[in-house]
Amino acid sequence: MSSLNLDDFTDLIERPDGGVRRDAAARRERRIVPPGALGRLDDLGEWLAAAQGSVPVRPVVRPRVVLFAGDHGIAELGVSARPAGSAGELVREIVEGGRPVGVLARRLDVPVRVVDMALDCEPDVFPQDVTRHRVRRGSGRIDIEDALTPEEAEAAFLAGVAIADEEADSGTDLVVLGDVSVGGTTVAGVLVAALCGTDASVVTGRGGEAIDDLAWMRKCAAIRDALRRARPVLGEQLRLLATVGGADLAAMTGFLLQCAVRKVPVVLDGVVAAACALVGQRIAFRAPDWWLAAHKSGEPGQAKALDRMALEPLLDQGVRVGEGAGALLALPLVQAAAALAAELGERPEEKPEPETADGEPEAGTETETE
């Protein structure tokens, strides 16, 4: 199908440094706070140390929110609370700073990058730095047609790789990854169900704005129909993304894998990011070691995907708005874990008691009695 060899990622991606992680664990044992007293923050600090290859862990000082945007043809079936083709409105609000992710990003002083991969609008309505990677206008209706051509799927995947390289080269030390889409959770549900071998009803959720029962039934039927088209191409991940994915999901998958190659840790937001991560795991089994699940979005597909990758979310606040907002909430927790791991003092070493020539403690020193 393509000259792109996805098997290369298996060779290029290494696990975070296990030796550094052991050193970080040994340092934890010496700290003034007893091991286990900080709960998961200890594990989080050690994960970050291994990802950085540094003990003590360095502070996270240049995080970045990266959001991949696209419209999906499946939204025409009424599977979303928003009308089909309206993701561009969300992007405009994000660019103007009015969405939840913009409020949080300002509060946390984190830049937000939006990448238009397949919005269903004219490209000139957004700045060129938003649209320069666009592959097409909207993705196909995956219950009856492919989302992308093979060439478009490869172009989107490689765009994600290039964006990961841009972030790594610019000094980004942690990425908060999310999506901006209409119909995206339906597409994600298809990918998760296909890769986990489950039925449509197991992965069908209510979406970011809580669809009603009738829309849920339409969404479940759409996932069921798209699954029939997905199963024959399960062995070819790029073809799977072309058949039942979309330009934004193909780009996110390439982005995730290249971040693992470049050793840039990524915090995953909702079900769309989780679905792309699951595809990435199929391509390179070590890649999920570089990813962190930020929160529970309430989407059953996300829970299924994270369980398959053995990723446990940090937060459970019921945030399902998407656009990276839930993942951004986890950033202060990651930064706190790094600070605690690096800055907490160590217990003073116990000095041995001085001995006489015959090996007995000197006179006047106290010995332990039973």
pLDDT digits (tens, 9 = 90+) for 13-50: 999 999 999 998 888 888 888 878 899 999 999 999 99
CATH 3.40.50.10210 fits 63-335, yes or no: yes
**Sorting pLDDT into bands at 50, 70 and 90, what band is 208?**
confident
pLDDT at 207: 83
**Sorting pLDDT into bands at 50, 70 and 90, what band is 294?**
very high
C-alpha to C-alpha distance for 142 and 95, rounded to whole angstroms? 29
Instruction: Give yes or no for residue 185 having a pLDDT over 60.
Output: yes
Instruction: Give yes or no for residue 66 having a pLDDT over 70.
Output: yes
pTM: 0.91
DSSP letter at 14? P
pLDDT at 177: 98
What percent of the chain is modeled with pLDDT above 90? 81
pLDDT in tens, 128-151: 999 999 999 999 999 999 999 999
Instruction: Give yes or no for residue 102 having a pLDDT over 70.
Output: yes
Average pLDDT over residues 332-351: 84
pLDDT in tens, 158-170: 999 999 999 999 9
Average pLDDT over residues 79-108: 93
Sheet with 174-182: list strands edge to edge: 112-118, 63-71, 174-182, 266-268, 291-293
Comparing CA positions, the residue from 203, 196, 278 lying closest to residue 231 is 196
In 3-state terms, the chain is what percent helix, strand and coil (to 5)?
50, 10, 40
**Cis amide linkage into residue 59, ω under 30° from 0:** no
pLDDT at 210: 81
Q: What tokens does 6 get?
A: 């996805």
Instruction: Give yes or no for residue 355 having a pLDDT over 90.
Output: no
pLDDT at 2: 52
Let me know if 323 is a catalytic residue.
yes
**Sorting pLDDT into bands at 50, 70 and 90, what band is 347?**
confident
pLDDT at 368: 45
Which comes out higher in pLDDT, residue 35 or 238? Answer: 238
Q: What tokens does 49 get?
A: 């140390």
pLDDT in tens, 261-293: 999 999 999 999 999 999 999 999 999 999 999
pLDDT in tens, 110-131: 999 999 999 999 988 999 999 9
pLDDT at 370: 40
Instruction: Give yes or no for residue 358 having a pLDDT over 70.
Output: no
Angle between helices 87-95 and 100-108 (to 10 degrees): 30
Do residues 47 and 144 make contact, with C-beta atoms less than 8 angstroms apart?
no
CA atoms within 13 A on the CB side of 347: 13
Conformation bin of residue 261: beta by default, left when phi > 0, alpha when psi is -120 to 50: alpha
pLDDT at 364: 52
What percent of the chain is modeled with pLDDT above 70? 93
pLDDT, averaged across the chain = 92
- Pairing verdict, β 291-293 and 266-268: parallel
> Mapping DSSP to helix (H, G, I), strand (E, B) and coil, where does residue 347 land?
coil
Which comes out higher in pLDDT, residue 356 or 185? Answer: 185
C-alpha to C-alpha distance for 61 and 218, rounded to whole angstroms? 44
pLDDT at 369: 43
pLDDT at 351: 58
The domain segmentation of the chain, as residue ranges, is 63-335
pLDDT at 157: 98
C-alpha to C-alpha distance for 53 and 58, rounded to whole angstroms? 9
Instruction: Give yes or no for residue 306 having a pLDDT over 70.
Output: yes
Cross-strand partners of 181 = 70
Comparing CA positions, the residue from 268, 335, 333 lying closest to residue 302 is 268
Instruction: Give yes or no for residue 237 having a pLDDT over 80.
Output: yes
- Catalytic entry in 122, 236, 323, 368: 323
